[in-house]
Structure 1
């Protein structure tokens, strides 16, 4: 029966740690204002489009 108590305690501690990590990430995310988020999203989009357009590096495997 003691083993189950330790497993339960470990589960509770894991839940608390996960909740603390989520809360910390939420605080960091909310720190940005709308203009900063918009600028970051536009920059990430531009980088993604540039990767699609750019030719792949390395030797070509044409057949």
Structure 2
């Protein structure tokens, strides 16, 4: 009986430790994000946009064909089999 209580106590402590560690990581990330000036953020967004615009996208004829419409007769025939 005592062993079960110990296991549950250890699991609870491990859970609390995990929650605390996650909170610390989130706070650290938020501090790093807030350290950017608006000009820094704008410059990074412009760089990312330029990099994305440089990658060629699919051309008009390169799209895969869409789903093929199946008639009612074909669906009923498949169900009978």
Query: Structure 2-normalised TM-score?
Result: 0.62
Which of structures 1 and 2 has the bigger CA Rg? Answer: 2
Q: Which consecutive residues of structure 1, in runs of 5 or more, have no partner in the other structure?
A: 55-63
Q: Which runs of 4+ in 1 moved over 4 A?
A: none
Residue equivalent to 1:44: 48
- Establish whether residue 20 from structure 1 lines up as the match of residue 24 from structure 2: yes
Specify every segment of 5 or more residues in structure 2 that has no aligned partner in the other structure, as ranges: 58-81
Separation in 1 of the partners of 2:10 and 2:22? 18
Offset, 1:45: 1.0
| 1:61 counterpart residue number | none
Matched, 1:33 2:37: yes
Residue aligning to 1:8: 12
TM-score normalised over the length of structure 1: 0.78
Indicate the RMSD between aligned Cα atoms, in angstroms: 1.2
